[in-house]
A and B are shown apart, each in its own frame.
Chain A
Amino acid sequence: MKVDLSVEVGALKLRGPVLAASGTFGYGTEVPLLERRALGGMVSKGIFLKPRAGTPPPRIAETPSGMLNAIGLQGPGVEALIRDYAPQWATWDFPVLVNINGESAAEYGELAGRLDGVPGIGGFEINISCPNVEQGGMYFGNDPRAAAAVTEAVRRRTKLPVWVKLTPMVSDIGVIARAVEAAGADAVSAVNTFVGMSIDLNAYRPRLSFRTGGLSGPAIRPLAVHLAHQAARAVDIPVVGVGGITRADDALEFLVAGCRAVQVGTATFVNPNAIAEVHDGVAAFMAAKGFASLADLPRFLPKD
């Protein structure tokens, strides 16, 4: 049976519901051995206006079914992104959203303005949830007014799709989701990493030089499914689920819990072809259950 896996996230039409998550797919040129036909889209590594060196090593630590990272948004800055990557993106058959970062709402706006209209840029994912930067990042993500201000600053500079990546480190994700929806977001990505810490018992200090890091991987999946579900209940714009997806069943959990699409992240580090395996597994599930399109998939999404 032929299954239609295309989805619409706001105005953005995707050929499939599985995207590559920011920070786990570089600028789209680095991941080897992936069957790219399966990519619904990709979100670039987070970028700032200026180049950033990132945090000193050690930057990663493995934890049970997960990993902590504190990369610190290492990156070449927006001009290098426009020069070195956007021209390639313009030739690709899936959209590229740029994950944008700043230390102030104005900086996010400036970044969006610089990228708007550059061929190859398909949209934005506003990162108000990075736990590994000293300024900005997660601060914007746990205050509804700050989150709205950043979203508005970007919205004013572009007509391209604007997604907002939410942090799980909040008491009510619905409050933040509603705030960015009201400020003009087209979708929210839920969720970024959880802040965690792991201690080196030989050195009597944290295993990461940044002390804390963002926890990702299968360890966070049930937490992420719940938060994505809460976000989906709170807003009318689409929710893109992300957090610990490694297999098709994981993606389907997010979809049934109310998400329109999903992002696969850490799994790509382990299995370069993870995205294709998730995509194909979703198609196989749909066919086996007799669903012709994702619109037919039952959702568990009681509205308040």
Chain B
Amino acid sequence: MFLIDAPLVARRQVSKDMWVLGFAAPEIAASVKAGQFVNIGMRPGPLLRRPFSVYRVEGERIEVLLKAVGTGTAQLLALREGDVVSCLGPLGRGYDLASAEKSVVLISGGLGVAPMPLAARDAGAAGLHVTWVHGARTAAELCSESDGDEVILATDDGSAGFAGTVVGASPDAGLVLACGPNRMLAAVAQRWPAAQVAVETYMGCGTGVCLGCAVPLARGGYDRACTEGPVYTASDIDWAALPSHLAYALTLPSPASGRGAA
């Protein structure tokens, strides 16, 4: 785990409202695995850091994917090249790609594409045939980047690819990795109880101390998305008790978003 002052070195838009930001963070770039995340802090800025899956690694640069959902992300999007953030990571337990299977299906919805390029990288390195299924509400919200041997798109409104959910669009597979809204992951869990899913929770410290990112477990009790997760075996989670919608509401005013919650 490293704590690095990381300058913004790259930025590009990958959908109507999703952006990729690249930060120079050599030690994290060298060690991060698919499904792991970084906790990014800004000064001045919101009190707490914000967790982001590492999207891609290019040399000494890590990339994260974001959407302006609150004042924290709005402030990140307003950064200029050379502006520095505090980057803590890599954190959490990522996807496990050690498998006897020959192929893997990556299923992502919306911002859930975030861990998939690294998953495709690591799966490719493990010799797996990679099918990437990516969905969004509508064509303009689909991520313009994808990796893997085969790509399947799905939109709720049918404006691109399969008309329907990513779960409906996916072929069957022994090894399934998924990331997206928790209600999408719950549907993944129904079809593939053994799937590895990366859940979203509110998070405080990101290092296992605050117990704020509690994930309800099927066997009872909670553990920490930041430490035991964020990747879980789908059947281990008590989906009915996991909040399905996070408001991402922050109360700090920011020039980018005006006052109040996004």
Contact = CB atoms under 8 A, between A and B. Distances in A.
B100 to A, nearest CB: 34
Contacts of B78: none
Contacts of B1: 32-33
A270 B41 contact: yes
Interface in B173-219: 201-205, 207-216
Interface string A37-57: 000000000000000011111
A58 B243 contact: yes
A200 B48 contact: no
A57 B47 contact: no
B211 A207 contact: no
Nearest to A273: B3
A69 B210 contact: yes
Contacts of B211: 54, 59, 71, 74
A135 interface: no
B209 A57 contact: no
B243, B247, B252: residue with the most chain A Cβ atoms closer than 10 Å? B247
A32 B207 contact: yes
Contacts of B41: 270-271
Interface string A181-215: 00000000000000000101111000101000000
Nearest to A51: B221
Contacts of B48: 62, 67, 269-270
A54 B47 contact: no
A221 B138 CA distance: 46
B126 interface: no
A30 B201 contact: no
Interface string A1-43: 0000000000000000000000111100011110000000000
Nearest to A54: B222
B3 A58 contact: no
A65 B47 contact: yes
B251 interface: yes
Contacts of B242: 57
Contact of A58 (B86, B202, B250): B202
Contact of A71 (B46, B210, B220): B210
Contact of A54 (B86, B201, B202, B214): B214
A168 B227 CA distance: 32
B177 to A, nearest CB: 23
Nearest to A218: B47
B210 A269 contact: yes
B207 A207 contact: no
A216 to B, nearest CB: 10
Contacts of A203: 245, 247
Contacts of B261: 201
B61 interface: no
Interface string B214-236: 11100011100000000000000
Nearest to B91: A32
Contact of A207 (B86, B222, B249): B249
A158 B246 CA distance: 46
B90 to A, nearest CB: 12
B57 interface: no
B207 A62 contact: no
B208, B213, B249: residue with the most chain A Cβ atoms closer than 10 Å? B249
A24 B205 CA distance: 9
B241 interface: yes
A272 B3 contact: yes
Interface in B70-125: 86, 88
A268 interface: yes
A102 interface: no
A217 B222 contact: no
A53 B202 contact: no
Contacts of B215: 57
B207 A67 contact: no
A133 interface: no
B49 interface: yes
A144 interface: no
Contacts of B212: 59-60, 69, 71
A203 to B, nearest CB: 7
Given A58-B246, A60-B212, A53 B3 contact: no
Interface in B52-73: none
11 contacts: A24-B209, A56-B241, A57-B215, A71-B210, A74-B214, A198-B251, A200-B249, A203-B247, A207-B247, A268-B209, A269-B205
Interface of A: 23-26, 30-33, 53-67, 69, 71, 74, 198, 200-203, 207, 209, 217-218, 266, 268-273
Interface of B: 1, 3, 41, 46-49, 86, 88, 201-205, 207-216, 220-222, 241-243, 245-247, 249-252, 261
Given A59-B202, A60-B213, 13 more contacts: A30-B208, A30-B209, A56-B241, A57-B201, A60-B210, A64-B251, A67-B47, A69-B204, A69-B212, A201-B247, A268-B209, A270-B49, A273-B3
